[in-house]
Amino acid sequence: MSNENVKTGLEAYNAKVAKAIARFPERGNLPEQRLYTPLDVEKTDYGTDIGFPGQYPFTRGVQPTMYRGRFWTMRMYAGFSTAEESNKRYRYLIESGATGLSCAFDLPTQIGYDSDDAISEGEVGKVGVAIDSLADMEILFDKIDLGKVSTSMTINAPASVLLAMYIAVGEKQGVSADKLKGTIQNDILKEYAARGTYIFPPKPSMRLITNIFEYCSQSVPNWNTISISGYHIREAGSTAAQEIAFTIADGIAYVEAAIKAGLNVDDFAGRLSFFWNAHNNVLEEVSKFRASRRLWAKVMKERFGATNPKSWMLRVHTQTAGSMLTAQQPENNIVRVALQTAAAVMGGTQSLHTNSKDEALALPTEDSVRIALRTQQIVAYESGLADVIDPLAGSYYVEALTNKIEEEAQNYIKKIDDLGGAVNAIEQGYIQKEIQDSAYKWQMDVEKGAKTIVGVNKFQIEEKPVEGLLKVDASVGELQKKKLADLRAKRDNAAVEKALAALKKACQDEHANLMPVILEAVKTYATLGEICGVMREVFGEYQAHVSL
């Protein structure tokens, strides 16, 4: 059909729609445009040539065969209470068919404090597992072969310490560092902008990240050294375009820092990974995934001059949207997660965690986790969505929306560049304010009824209190304190002091790579709090920007 014929048909269609709306007004909260045609795709610079999967700019996926070759990694996120309890959950997940593990750590671990520190009181083991030393990490992965399992660790400010512990456990199991596979989140910029579990100021934090890039490129080559995370930016209230824009801007900052530290872009870029949120609007999410791959490919090739095709690939782990789970009618969350799973799969994710139905109320039970894992398995084996590569390619709407999201994200990235990059944009409060404004608008739409949340502002029912929720025993904190006291009594404290002194000296030398020194300290059973305490002493602590 020629463009002129499309235009003529569109005029006739719009006339009919106008008459219909006069009789039946459209519901609110819909896109302004109702129908998409070839004109909506062709009116952009991108045109209709979207290329092939596995080829630059990877709009259609980073692998030529995608799920026809193998499914995404079904990586279930878990961690609570003690290392012993979390180890039981991990082994249960592996027995249930999970193909990767994803570790959740408690708040004291995330901000570099031991369980017996006064600041940790009441938080030990609550939102994740408490890891105070190599001894806890050994228990966490007891009877789990690190040579066979791929592990993701959601840890940022003290990522270097937790990675060192994982490497040390691998050595004790007889698995050399070059055989380890997995990911550390290690994304400190989004902590300043959206999440809050930071420790050190930006400059030493960026040094730690580039130290990890360098160390792993030489010693742990199969490890993904960072998972640049849009997930928490979206959870904080951003739009889809903001999620990928702010995250890719962070990615640009990390690449620039690594190059400035003397690394060659193609030596580390292939191990960068991303972390997206799978939200409720299925087709918008599919388009977001496709736009993000194309945008990152262009950034790496055109802006940084990367020549290795692996450096151009945006490889992504996805988690379904925790912020979209409701405490009201929690069974509805199973449906939400299924749709979000479909969006992530049609969008081409490389790995996926599905949230459990009861996570708006508590940590998930084993039964809830099994349903969440089965959701992925049903989509993989029964839905047919994984049978075809990029199944929505060529959809007028999806292609137009992919272009629109990319354009919006590019505009944000240009604004951040004009402000001097992501670090400056965060320090000026720009990114935080954009997220806050979007979150406020979304909440106002819910409260005014312009946006419907089933079971929350519409279709409510009388509900009884939910029974059988998982509760973390209050004694966990005391148990961790006792384990720490026993550890300090049994270890070689002279060796610990020597290792911590070496770490302090290395921290003071801005040219030293801290990873080997941290690894040696970990092997003496120096605790997380002791190691981070030394770095706090040298680097100081970050004070949050306050927007007025």
In a domain, 477, yes or no: no
160 shares a domain with 29: no
433 shares a domain with 343: yes
- What are residue 150's phi and psi, to 5 degrees? -100, 130
133 shares a domain with 172: yes
Q: How many domains does the chain have?
A: 3
Q: How far apart are CA 45 and CA 409, in angstroms?
A: 15
| Structural domain boundaries enclosing 29 | 3-35
137 shares a domain with 58: no
Q: What is the arrangement of strands in the sheet containing 272-278, beginning at the earlier edge strand? A: 223-224, 181-184, 150-153, 100-103, 73-78, 351-353, 316-320, 272-278, 226-229
271 shares a domain with 152: no
From residue 278, alpha-carbon distances to 24, 226, 297, 384 in Å are 33, 19, 21, 19
253 shares a domain with 371: yes
Pick the last residue of a domain from 448, 466, 499: 448
Q: Which helix (H) or strand (E) holds 277?
A: strand 272-278
276 shares a domain with 163: no
493 shares a domain with 376: no
505 shares a domain with 421: no
340 shares a domain with 266: yes
525 shares a domain with 385: no
CATH of the domain at 407: 3.20.20.240
Q: How far apart are CA 310 and CA 58, in angstroms?
A: 11
Exposure string for 137-159, b = 16+ CB within 10 A, e = fewer: bbbbbeebebeebbbbbbbbbbb
411 shares a domain with 318: yes
Q: Along the 548 residues of the chain, how does pLDDT read in single tens digits?
A: 577 777 787 688 678 767 766 776 766 666 777 777 777 776 555 444 688 899 999 999 999 999 988 999 998 777 788 999 999 999 998 998 888 888 999 999 999 999 999 999 999 999 899 999 999 999 999 999 999 999 999 999 999 999 999 999 999 999 999 999 999 999 999 999 998 999 999 999 999 999 999 999 999 999 999 999 999 999 999 999 999 999 999 999 999 999 999 999 999 999 999 999 999 999 999 999 999 999 999 999 999 999 999 999 999 999 999 999 999 999 999 999 999 999 999 999 999 999 999 999 988 888 999 999 999 999 999 999 999 999 999 999 999 999 999 999 999 999 999 999 999 999 999 999 999 999 999 999 999 999 999 999 999 999 988 888 878 777 899 999 999 999 999 999 999 999 999 999 999 999 999 999 999 999 999 999 999 999 999 999 998 765 54
In a domain, 117, yes or no: yes
pTM over 0.85: yes
In a domain, 70, yes or no: no
